[in-house]
Amino acid sequence: MRTIVDAQAKRKQLRQRLSEPGIIIAPGVFEMISARMADQMGFDTLYMTGYGAVASYLGLPDAGLASYTDMVNRAGALAQGTQTPLIADGDTGYGGLLNVAHTVHGYETAGVTGIQLEDQEFPKKCGHTPGRRVIAAKDMVNKIKVAAQSRDSQDFLIVARTDARTTLGIDEALRRAEAYCHAGADILFVESPENPEEMAKIAQSFDKPVLINVVEGGRTPMFSKTELEQMGFKMAIYPGTAFLAFAHGLQTVYGALKNEGSSLSVSDKLYNFEAFSKLMGFEAVWEFDRQHADD
């Protein structure tokens, strides 16, 4: 059977890793197949993408349509079904300050290692799409203070994201990130910088760890792991990589089925069935059946 790693042990593990040299690469996971696959690869942390979770669970855009219940249930399944620490998207906290406290408590109880909260107006939108607006900085400061005060463990990480760059400019985004740092955030996240100069300025402006969001096809230029580390970033999340690969793969194999009536031409593009069964935990089922064969 799979060993269950205590949630608090995961939190201590990631807190310790943040204090060590080297950038942390966090793959985006959005349902249990992607989570199981990433979990076996030795990453320091996983990142539950709100965009991917809403798309896979509800088939809807990441535009404030998913509820707290939708997201905490998804986050709990991912956290409890994997051994790797999980940072999960908590959107805007799903309301006012009382809602933020409730959200933080819910994510922590669900086994999540850290929660990302952002300063967008409700309903929020994906950070690499147009039409985003932010709340007053002082209101987000209060949200971060409440989030930090509401957690039971100091090792439960608060990731504070600002979306101010796109509409209010880089200087306001930096000012907000500084305020969120003083309010109690553990990791700072300035969304959607648009050139390498902005990226380097963001990475080097704070004493706390800074996260960069790497979105293939998004607003922010892409760089190698080494280049991001040299800029000064401590963590790089790749929220869309897996679901974009997933969609591309489905388009390929479904296209073959539709056009050819068979999967023969794409069999080399498919994951091995026995390996997939083992990934999903069937070895434990087979062992159980062997032990109880006489019964």
The mean pLDDT value for 34-52 works out to 97
Q: Which domains does the chain carry?
A: 7-246 (3.20.20.60)
pLDDT of residue 121: 87
What percentage of the chain exceeds 70 in pLDDT?
A: 96
With beta carbons less than 8 A apart as the criterion, state whether 115 and 87 touch: yes
Question: 162 has which bridge partners?
Answer: 190
What percentage of the chain exceeds 90 in pLDDT?
A: 91
C-alpha to C-alpha distance for 134 and 193, rounded to whole angstroms: 16
The mean pLDDT value for 142-162 works out to 98
Residue 144 pLDDT > 50: yes
Q: What is the DSSP letter of 240?
A: T
Q: Return the minimum-mean-pLDDT range out of 34-48, 238-252, 281-295.
A: 281-295
Q: pLDDT of 171-181, one tens digit each?
A: 999 999 999 99
Residue 73 pLDDT > 90: yes
> Of the segments 128-132, 250-254, 281-285, which one has the largest average pLDDT value?
250-254
Q: pLDDT of 181-190, one tens digit each?
A: 999 999 999 9
> Any residues with CB less than 8 A from the CB of 132 and at least 6 apart, and which?
120, 124, 125, 163, 166, 167
pLDDT of residue 295: 62
> Any residues with CB less than 8 A from the CB of 221 and at least 6 apart, and which?
194, 195, 196, 199
Residue 275 pLDDT > 70: yes
Mean pLDDT (the chain, rounded): 94
Residue 68 pLDDT > 80: yes
Residue 1 pLDDT > 50: no
The mean pLDDT value for 179-204 works out to 97
Q: Which residue has the higher pLDDT, 64 or 37?
A: 37
With beta carbons less than 8 A apart as the criterion, state whether 72 and 106 touch: yes
Phi, psi of 74 (to 5 degrees): -65, -45
The mean pLDDT value for 121-148 works out to 86
pLDDT of residue 125: 66
Residue 124: pLDDT band with limits 50, 70, 90: confident
The mean pLDDT value for 215-237 works out to 97
With beta carbons less than 8 A apart as the criterion, state whether 239 and 217 touch: no
Most distant CA atoms of the chain, gap in Å: 71
Helix (H) or strand (E) holding 270: none
